[in-house]
Amino acid sequence: MSLKVACVGEAMVELSMSGDTAAVGVAGDTLNTAIYMKRSAPSLAVDYVTCVGDDPFSAKIRDFIAGQGIGCSNIAVLPGQTPGLYAITTAEDGERSFTYWRGSSAARRLFQGKKEPDFSVLANYDVVYLSGITMAILPHPVRLALLDWLVQSSVRFVYDSNFRPRLWEDPAIARTVTSLLWARSDIALPSVDDEMALFEETHEEVLERFVGLGMSGALKQGADGPVSLGSEVSQRYAPAEQVVDTTAAGDSFNGAYLGSLLSGASQHDALMAGHRCASVVVGHRGAIIPKDDR
């Protein structure tokens, strides 16, 4: 029987601008990871857990997720609500910039029951994966309740801090929540740049901290390749053949690494699978590349 994995977070409508026109897509950090995990390990049962509205754009999100082979049974549809949206614009020099409209996204209502937070949707999964973005969009009481639920649960928990300062109401809260989640994580997937920014540490201090925590996982270092956490792995990582767009580099690494690891591969092979996947993804524009290009 295959493992059941829940990826939890926010799926948004993406507008990719070209002059005065826009291509409409779907994106989100934990969704990107879910898609690459499923592609890397088709035998895994990967579901996406979020909230959307009952509008046409929310329907597009659900259809897109289902089309990627991701389970949608725990995507809650909230009447009268709408999803978050963001636009990508590209300057003449190729530099990309992002504009977000996500303050009233339906996903911000995740786990909010009629009287108190309700996490029963997660109870039937073997593995739960979420990110710092997932935590940042939740009201603080819901965050704290989710932390309590995770501490009391035996579910295998995977976390990527994926720090976005503008989403958090206070850097100190972000540091506290992230530290508690690292302490609970069974598999940690931090990025060195995010951890340096969040904890105001050097590269070496970040590495020393995670080695000291004694957890399993991978510390992502971009083009330099990951550092193995929990077991020593010595191998070289080839650079990407070309870098067109680094969107979803970390998300795709997480997906392929987890898909490989949860399917029984060694840490050595899982790290290499993650790096190779990310190296291909950065050679394309957009977060989700065509299936045949992986």
Q: Residues with catalytic annotation? A: 251
What are the structure tokens assigned to 35, written together? 């898609």
Backbone phi and psi for residue 213, each to the nearest 5 degrees, phi listed first: -70, -20
3-class DSSP assignment, residue 192: helix
Q: What does the alpha-carbon distance between residue 127 and residue 122 come to, in Å, rounded to a whole number?
A: 9
Report the DSSP beta bridge partners of residue 160. Answer: 131
Parallel/antiparallel/unpaired status of strands 85-90 and 21-27: unpaired
Q: What is the DSSP string of 48-102?
A: EEEEE-SSHHHHHHHHHHHHTT-B-TTEEE-TT----EEEEEE-TTS-EEEEEE-
With beta carbons less than 8 A apart as the criterion, state whether 13 and 57 touch.
Answer: yes
